[in-house]
Amino acid sequence: MGPGWYSDPAGGGGYRWWDGRAWTSDTTTTPGPAPRTASSGGSRRATPWGWIVGGLAVVLAVILAVAFLVNRSGGPRDITDDYPTASSTVSAWDDGSTPTPTPTPTPPGSESPSPRNTPSEGDGGSRPCPTASGTADTPPSNDGRLHGGGISVAEPGAGWEQSSFPAAVMFFASDLDGRSAPITGTWVNILGVGELTKSDGFADVQSAADSVTSCLASSGFMSATGREDEYSREHKVDGRQGWTVRSRVESSSASGVKGSYFDVIVVDVGRPDSLAVVALETTIDHHEQDAMRQRVLDSVRVDG
């Protein structure tokens, strides 16, 4: 997962900047572009204002130079010439035109301000990804498994570590146990096991699996170019009704990573108000992760 604004793992309802390696000290309640302190190498978006300001300065310098040379040479001055005054605007565009503003990127993980995460619903509408109101993190166990929401999976193995990043990416889940693994200097994969609250819109296993996949794809990628599902099908776990989705999400980031695969499994464990979820991210074209992926997905069990 790349640099971006994510729900602050320290709580408080705000957002904190993840630079691709660690959480920074930059926080905000109204997420937008990368903070001024973020390094250019860690950001997936370039800010064009520096080029625009530089361009305007060059245009102004050329206009003043031409005016100076014409006046000095004694040449005629057309009364229609537009020299800058205190009340005029010097622009690289025609005065009568209106430049198109650069869109401000909208961060994930909150309903206010309006998030960019809008998974589709069965009726063709859309809704924002909810922010879970329950406990984000669950204490790790010592049995070699991750537990959350009434299910568990095997530890992914070497290279994966406990961190707050899965809770920030899976902001829509509670009772979460997670691990993360750095892939490059600006890309991190996640594994999370947790609980989805039905009142947040996760009403059944099929629609919940699709919504979780959409939330992950839109919240985890600052430069996602599209989502393509390899499959979406019924998937029972220990006889319990479930659904699984495997999705390929490509990215246009300059991190050297094409994007990620997301494997999502949602299970109805019999709790009246919630469902259980497993989400695993692996990297496109990193086939050394295939054996770990299969082992983790095959290890999903209902606790108790």
> Six-digit token pair at 112?
């206010």
pLDDT in tens, 119-136: 433 333 345 688 887 655
Helix (H, G, I), strand (E, B) or coil at 252: coil
| 40 pLDDT above the threshold of 50 | no
| pLDDT (mean) for 60-73 | 55
With tokens 């063709």, the residue in question is 124
Helix (H, G, I), strand (E, B) or coil at 192: strand
pLDDT at 70: 45
Q: Where are the beta strands (DSSP E) in the chain?
A: 4-7, 15-18, 23-28, 145-148, 151-154, 174-184, 187-197, 224-234, 242-251, 259-267, 274-283, 301-302
pTM score of the predicted model = 0.62
Helix (H, G, I), strand (E, B) or coil at 219: helix
pLDDT in tens, 250-297: 988 767 889 999 999 999 999 999 999 999 999 999 999 999 999 999
Q: What is the CA radius of gyration of the chain?
A: 25
Q: Which segment of 1-15, 138-152, 288-302 scores lowest on mean pLDDT?
A: 1-15
With tokens 């069965």, the residue in question is 122
pLDDT in tens, 193-239: 999 999 999 999 999 999 999 988 886 555 778 889 999 999 999 99
pLDDT in tens, 226-237: 889 999 999 999
Q: Which domains does the chain have, with CATH numbers?
A: 129-302 (3.40.1000.10)
